[in-house]
Amino acid sequence: MLDALEADRTRVAEIDTQILCFERCIAALRIQKALAQERLDLYRYPVSTLPNEIVSEIFTHFLPPYPTFPPLTGIFSPTILTHICRKWREIAIATPMLWRAVEMISDRRGMPTERQAHISDVWLGRSRCSPISIRISEFDDTDPHFSEILETVVPHRARLELLELHSLMPSHLSAIEGPMPLLEDLQLTLDDFDPRVKITFPEVPMLRMAYLNDHAALTLTLPWAQLTRLTLWCVNPSECLPILRQTSILVSCVLDVAAGEGDDGPWPDIRLPYLKSLVLWDTMEILPVGFLEIFVVPALCSLEIGERYLEPNPIDCLTTFISKCGCKLKQVLITNDQLVSETTYREALASVPEVSFGGRYRAKIAAKE
């Protein structure tokens, strides 16, 4: 028994010696750690020495070019910049240009409408006095929180540069009716037409571009005479021609025209002296015959047209159009099935430097079917 106790005393002494040794090693390591930490604390990473203005500029290049819309959440959202460190959060929140393009889409990856409205409201608040761009798309009229989306936009209407409203109902438009002094680009598609609803946007002095579908064109009155770019989609001649007669300074025009009932023409000429680019989409089942012939566009440089607009004699139709306008075309693109060979087109359009062919709309029609 005494021998065992003696052995334990010896073992305790050995352990004390080892502990002392380890404590000395730990103390030495603590000193080394403190010295290393001191060196780290003295070092400033180059990015942390940048002035806030430079960091802010770098942040703006993190986003897609304005007015492209970044996502409200995720790694490509400007919100991610507020999650790095306190300094970056302060800089990001104080940079209005990060928050000026807001897109709200129905069922956006499962994000509830009210959450989209809240995030958008925060972004628009952070954008301060900057001009803004807003896109609202595909919300169901029965969504109980859709009014929150529109309420988010209304207080900032005077700062709008670009406004896209897609798949809305006519009754929604009254919420945004009013002066928009900075608005340059308006894109509006309505899912229905209500003859009782007529909306006028007279106080849009900067408006130059508009994209409207048939229901929007019938519902909306714009200062057409100041537009330089116009897209009208899924319209009949009776819907688009009254508008085109007022667009005297139009430079670019895109039309997707369907033959309407009792809309057979002939129609009076449309004179657009400054028009340089004309696109006639071919997505409708029945097109108006002779529609190209009504245009008098002496400055036209680029023509993109579905061949069905040129029937029944595509070459005669094209050459007559060019002769009538006296334009010097630089580009001609013929889309969809060709009744006439490419060689014949090139020979007839020998004076046009670039003649090309494509089937871009055929795929669209097939997808719809």
Cβ–Cβ under 8 Å, residues 289 and 313: no
Average pLDDT over residues 330-337: 90
pLDDT range class, residue 360, cuts 50, 70, 90: low
At 230 the three-state DSSP class reads: strand
pTM, entire model: 0.83
Every domain of the chain and the residues it spans = 223-369
Average pLDDT over residues 264-284: 92
Which residue is associated with the tokens 């010295």? 35
pLDDT digits (tens, 9 = 90+) for 16-47: 999 999 999 999 999 999 999 999 888 887 88
Average pLDDT over residues 340-367: 76
Q: Is the pLDDT of residue 362 over 70?
A: no
Amino acid at 83: H
Dist CA 309 CA 155 (whole Å) = 45
pLDDT range class, residue 317, cuts 50, 70, 90: very high
pLDDT digits (tens, 9 = 90+) for 74-120: 999 999 999 999 999 999 999 999 999 999 988 656 788 899 999 99
Dist CA 49 CA 78 (whole Å) = 22
Check the CA dihedral 287-290-292-295 and report its sign: negative
Best-predicted range by mean pLDDT (109-123, 134-148, 290-304): 290-304
Which residue is associated with the tokens 């036209």? 300
**Other CB atoms within 10 A of residue 251 CB:** 16
Q: Is the pLDDT of residue 49 over 60?
A: yes
Q: Exposed, middle or buried, 230 (CB in 10 Å: 0-12/13-18/19+)?
A: buried
| Residue of 313, 248, 238, 246 whose CA lies nearest to 274 | 248
Dihedral over alpha carbons 78, 80, 84, 90 (to 10 degrees): 40
Average pLDDT, the chain: 90
Best-predicted range by mean pLDDT (141-155, 232-246, 282-296): 232-246
Q: Is the pLDDT of residue 369 over 70?
A: no
| Residue of 175, 165, 167 whose CA lies nearest to 192 | 167
